[in-house]
Amino acid sequence: MDHDGAKGQSVSAAELFDGLGIDYERAFVRLPAQLAAIEWLTARLGAGARVLDVGSGTGRPVADLLVGAGFEVTGIDVSGEMVALASAQVPGARFEQCDVRAFDAPAGHFDAVCAFFPLLMMSRAEAAATLKRMAGWLAPGGFLVTATVPADVEDLEIVWMERTVRVSSFSVEEYLRLQREDCGLDVLHHAVSVFVPDDERAAPEDHLFTYALREALTEGGASAV
């Protein structure tokens, strides 16, 4: 995230990604840590597993790889332009234009939820509540795989890919605490890496990736990994 030179009226998430369209895919499609996360997840899910991709963007690479692995994929994105691109590029998945804060799914419905960077343009309270809701959509033994830009900021105005946006985020420690304590998940892996987007308009970013498990229940009702 580029904190310098923020000018002009900030745009909403829908406006931002409607305007970026396929340029977002070109800048971020070759994100090694994201590809590693999908590889990790696909190795642990059975054929036909139900996966929700939150902030599904153009459908590539995440939904495309998940469909290729034989999963039943639902993608949601706040941007109508992104949903149209994803539907055309990944016809094997189902995409819906929806803000994750308004999305409704039965408890335990999904075997995995992927959430790569969809929380950054929310308030911290909204992001924390959304993490908890996503954890609730997981079946016992299901996985929440996420990525964010770790930073201790609230409603900060920045310039990103030549657009002025307002962002909030958490420190690494607080983001992990939210998943462990508020969401009741077992964080199996976390790592921070630096990514240089394939677009000169986007500065290098710190990325935090996490892999978390909703523990399964034993016959006696106790949780077990």
Give 113-146 pLDDT, tens digit per residue: 999 999 999 999 999 999 999 999 999 999 999 9
All residue ranges of the chain with pLDDT < 70 are 1-8, 217-225
Token couple for 89: 């590029």
92: burial class by Cβ within 10 Å (0-12, 13-18, 19+)? Answer: middle
CA distances from 77 to 69, 135, 210, 215, 218 (A): 21, 18, 21, 27, 35
Q: pLDDT at position 217, please? A: 64
Helix (H) / strand (E) element for 201: namely none
127: burial class by Cβ within 10 Å (0-12, 13-18, 19+)? Answer: buried
Give 159-168 pLDDT, tens digit per residue: 888 889 999 9
Token couple for 147: 């990525």
Answer whether 53's CB lies under 8 Å from 74's CB.
Answer: yes
Token couple for 95: 């995409």
How far apart CA 74 and CA 152 sit, in angstroms, is 31
122 Ramachandran zone, left/alpha/beta (phi>0; psi -120 to 50): beta
pTM: 0.90
Token couple for 153: 């900021």
Q: pLDDT at position 148, please? A: 98
Q: pLDDT at position 200, please? A: 78
